[in-house]
Structure 1
């Protein structure tokens, strides 16, 4: 690698700014107000295509060969401090080599990726952004580059409107099992196009196989990894803005993933997931059947493993101590910051503080004392197959946000942390009637138009990026098919009566709650509320009298449409550039959010009973800023917030079900809250229409 970097640097130095480079140099220095959305999208498409190989596109090749990131520091808002820092490490051969695996949980890897992210965030123009991307794509580790590039496009104003190609097509090894990768290589070498059926991990001997479709769903994997890009634990406000209610969002999105997993388990006659504990065995093992592009197979973990200390990471007793300190803070009602000051958490803001502590993010008020329970736990669990490095195994699936949910223990780990959050929520006073009521407003009726019916469909995506490209071997179409959960579209019909003399703005909150446990025993309200799934949250203006509110399932503030494929994004960007038309892909801009098709849990063939709850609250009191009733706040605000802005709802996430409910009349006697029983059916043999 040292020879490669040295040769590249010598070549760049020789080319700068020699024969034929004057125009290129001028383009580096000019501002770029005329760069179209289509050109930005094309640049992104080309920069991530074949990420493990050299750049294929001549314009980006020219930039990568000739651009000097330090030549003109006026293009950066920090006068080049970030790029000088990165270049010093690169020139001293301190960076991770290409063709080595990358893990965000590795502190060295993370530091290097964030050095590049910092460079991107200080670029004033798209020209600066794309020139640095082309240069460092050729000089840095592929995983570090890709992570820095994706997160920078997410957070930089320069990336507004750009759609990031789905990671399952860019790094298919992280989403596809080894058998399919081997078949892809065979297809390439034999010049035989292939469409290969992928199966979920495991066999019917493993009852966890019944819910593998959820943890291994590539759309859900994208939601999880993208949420952690939108709200990274390493974020500091010096990057440009504050991540509003980040700690509470960390709690809420993972609580909802756990609640969804529980609903899938109940749909398949399994008990709700049990929590992990540091002093108990990890009952379920896991064999990923996946491999890194570079670095070997993802390690397996056998059944009934006792947690062991992980060399260089943490001891089991350290985890127990961190947990104990956090539980003590909950019991006392305050946390102690690094300066010894007490922060009251017996309020609506306390969950936000606890979320920052448990993760632990850079927002944690005292990471040294409370530790990093979540982040360290991911590494601890990921390394239990080789805790002492005896076999030099690579990081486990738990050490990548893309792959973590494949392991059923992910949900056990988050149930463990979820129960800590629940302990805090239960320490708060119960809601009073005044806290819940919306004066003069009543929900008269709830109905569903359409069927609550799920089915499995085949989804196909390209895995061409899984195999190496060679000029000596022609390209062939290679793809994989995998079954994925979907549902028929439906519409909520909610009759609301406004007995006030004037228009009122209402916040509409919709939850779906399993009625019974795996044995058919009905949950109490206090038990069941913690398994409720947030289905939607939106605003509606209610005129005096009766209003019939209609809301489509596809409009949910929790879900997002499937991202277009890389091929589709390339076609659309190229066509727009040729025609001169505007490229508008704003509906796909955010990948954070469950896929639309996964809004409903699977249910059962004979129907699975759920409680559908609608709570209509005072939108004028709830809203953070002035907005119209049809403002969707970026589409997936419920669990993904709004990029760079305040969370649009003042109420605690999960309201009104987030606190202890000692008596069901506390909910049922409130006129602006109503429930009805619905059934979710699963269609065994679905035919596409």
Structure 2
């Protein structure tokens, strides 16, 4: 069976998920292996943060992963579609497809086309339904509705938080790195999974603050008090599998106890994690003490905080991150007395819409930063590359060192996810942030007398804070966003090379739609991609109309010191945020190096030697 034939078999399983009936196959007629699933009712909003939901989803993706061949896998998936919760089904099948050897080259369609109701306001979907009814014999395109106004200061950033691409990225990252991934059962290790959890979310926070500063707003205030009264938020989303709105959070609500977890549990887990950071070790089982050393500490903490299958002691340290998402999503109806849907924080594909997502993750990141502060500062030897001098860096766009951003019009097809009773297309027209094409040209003088291989690390950060004060490299350290990281051979003497932004190892530029996958109009090399990565159009912060100055930081490090032995690249996309699915993370340096830990402010200029370059780049937004 060809890849195209397998793709054609699987695609219908993901269509019209919002209109499945609630009837299921009776237990005595099911495949024996599926007797243990079908617990979470259809119409319930599935959450991979909720312990019980995730346990059932894990059982299903493990069953699907264990199927003896593709035909067996397909038969199980097809039957499961008539049994299990809609969101749970898509999550579990997606995990299985991404990790089965016989599904290599098969692509799960975009989550925004499977469940468009998670991305498009209810008002817009209602309008599209009316238009499709009135015009059954023609294609329909409607414009997306606004979800708020300037009375809410946070509405300024709605274009960012509600961006379809970044929400889809977050959903797919949690497919690539399921919290419950059991290496012994699945037959592969997710290398540095806990550290990737830290780094990907830290970068989301950095990007959000870059966006806030671009819009003249203060940097966010981290969540820090389990009793604090939170800002309100209304998502304007309605779940079509239940017919209920995603829950809104009125202004002034705070966390409340749930049936499964108390606020006091959260406080206790936080204190235990912080205590372990200050002690320098975490408690394993019994008397075991596991050191939070320089090499493994971030990875160990990431597993504990999430908490993932690899948490060293989930009974003691709990599940701080995941239950935090669930509690924030349920504070409007904590005991379920009103049978309301949870809010968007319960779902990886909607959580980024809520401003509290970023405040919560800055709180989580602050815990990691407490640990990072216990590590020694990087020394000159850690940062230098003898004989290598970066003499010039230029951003090549329409104007040198000026990147223009703008809003670009795009369309989302609703008709694969929602049955409008017509064979014609029903689409939503919306706008998203984008930037002009650009490349980064780097000139290097290699005085070693021989060719050298290096890792090029490129970062971007605001030059000034909200008051117009120049940010030192330590003050702005946590605002640096990674633009790219790649291997480069440096010829002896002076040489130049250029890197196109579209080739960034942070971003994903290939997102085939349902129609692309059905027609087979996908490039031959797409089988080497894993569909995980930050959206390419959101690589650069918005900037402002005047032109906002940013620091472009380029660092060249020695590939011989950074390379991973016997490295095999499994995925060809965005490894900085997404690793390589089941291979080794292709860089021995800590993720985010050299900004992952505090920098000695008094000696910063001495630390960064000839192998680095700092310059000013202007980002200008054109409306």
- Shorter-normalised TM range: over 0.9
CA contact (8 A) 2:195 2:591 kept: yes
Secondary structure of the structure 2 residue equivalent to 1:459: strand
Q: Assess if the C-alpha contact under 8 Å between 1:259 and 1:533 holds in 2.
A: yes
Kindly report which structure 2 residues correspond to 1:459-498, keeping only aligned pairs within 5 A, or say none: 459-468=410-419, 473-498=421-446
Name the structure 2 match of 1:294: 241
Shift of 1:251: 0.3
What SS class does the counterpart of residue 452 from structure 1 fall into? strand
Contact 2:530/2:571 (8 A) holds in 1: no
More moved, 519-528 vs 251-260: 519-528
1:119 aligns with 2:63: yes
Residues 331/98 of structure 1: CA separation in 2 closer, same or farther (3 Å cut): closer
State how far apart, in whole Å, the 2-side matches of 1:110 and 1:356 are: 16
Report what 1:683 is aligned to: 622
Q: CA deviation at 1:383?
A: 0.9
The offset of 1:157, in angstroms, is 1.4
Counterparts of 1:266-345 in structure 2, within 5 Å, are 266-295=213-242, 296-309=244-257, 311-345=258-292
Partner of 1:589: 529
* 1:278 Cα deviation from its structure 2 partner: 2.9
- Cα distance between partner residues in 2 of 1:337 and 1:627: 31
Alpha-carbon distance, 1:49 to partner:
1.7
CA contact (8 A) 2:450 2:492 kept: yes
Are the counterparts in 2 of residues 200 and 216 from structure 1 also a CA contact under 8 Å? no
Structure 1 unmatched ranges of 5 or more: 1-34, 56-63, 71-83, 577-582, 685-689
Q: Which moved more, 1:445-454 or 1:473-482?
A: 473-482
Whether the 8 Å contact between 2:549 and 2:616 is mirrored in structure 1 is yes
The range that moved more, 657-666 or 615-624, is: 657-666
1:500 matches 2:448: yes
User: In the comparison of the two structures, how many residue pairs are matched?
Assistant: 610
1:282 and 1:489 mapped to 2: Cα distance? Answer: 43
Query: Residue deviations 1:509-536, cap 9 Å, x none?
Result: 0000111111111222211011100000
The 2-side partners of 1:105 and 1:349 are apart by 24
Residue correspondence of structure 1 range 50-449 to structure 2 within 5 A? 50-53=16-19, 70=31, 84-87=32-35, 89=36, 95-192=39-136, 193-237=139-183, 238-295=185-242, 296-309=244-257, 311-449=258-396
Give the corresponding residue for 1:644.
Answer: 582
Deviates more, 1:279-288 or 1:172-181: 279-288
Matched ranges for 1:564-603 at <5 A: 564-572=512-520, 584=524, 586=526, 589-603=529-543
Q: Could you say which structure has the larger radius of gyration?
A: 1
Preserved contact between residue 511 and residue 613 of structure 1 (Cα < 8 Å): yes
Moved more, 644-653 or 236-245: 236-245
Q: Is the 8 A contact 1:510 1:615 kept in 2?
A: yes
Give the whole-Å Cα distance in 1 for the aligned partners of 2:471 and 2:508.
30
Q: 1:586 to 1:321 in 2, by over 3 A?
A: same
Q: Does 1:535 align with 2:483?
A: yes
Per-residue deviation, 1:482: 1.3
C-alpha spacing 1:293/1:53, structure 2 compared with 1 (3 Å) = closer
CA RMSD of aligned residues (A): 2.3
Deviation for aligned residue 1:144: 2.2
SS at match of 1:264: helix
* Shift in Å, 1:562: 4.4
Out of 636, 640, 657, which is 2:595 matched to?
657
Name the residue aligned to 1:455: 406
> Does the 8 Å contact 1:86/1:115 carry over to 2?
no
Contact 1:448 1:493 in 2 (8 A): yes
Task: Indicate if the aligned counterparts of 1:307 and 1:384 stay in contact, CA closer than 8 A.
Answer: yes
Tell me, in whole angstroms, the C-alpha distance in 2 between the residues paired with 1:610 and 1:527: 14
CA distance in 1 between counterparts of 2:510 and 2:251 reads 35
Partner in structure 1 of residue 559 of structure 2: 619
Query: What's the offset of the Cα at 1:275?
Result: 0.5
> Structure 1 residues 587, 614: CA separation in 2 closer, same or farther (over 3 Å shift)?
farther
Instruction: Answer whether contact 1:425 1:660 (CA < 8 A) is retained.
Output: yes
Matched-pair contact (CA < 8 Å) for 2:106–2:527: no
Q: Is the 8 A contact 2:50 2:326 kept in 1?
A: no
* 1:411 alignment partner, SS class: helix
Deviation, structure 1 residue 286: 0.3
Structure 1 residue aligned with 2:460: 512
Cα offset for 1:467? 3.5
Residue 69 of structure 1: how far off its partner (Å): 7.5
Within 2, Cα distance between the matches of 1:52 and 1:409? 27
Following superposition, the deviation at residue 602 of structure 1 comes to 0.4
Q: CA deviation at 1:196?
A: 1.4
Is the CA contact 1:360–1:372 (under 8 Å) kept in the aligned structure 2? yes
Moved more, 525-534 or 331-340: 331-340
Deviation at 1:633, TM superposition (A): 5.5
Which whole-Å CA distance do the structure 2 matches of 1:321 and 1:286 have between them? 27
Scaled by the length of structure 2, what TM-score is found? 0.93
Partners of 2:616 and 2:581 in 1: how far apart?
36
Match of 1:37 in 2: 3
Give the alignment's TM-score, normalised by structure 1. 0.85
Is the deviation greater in 400-409 or in 544-553?
Answer: 544-553
CA separation in 2, counterparts of 1:306 and 1:135?
42
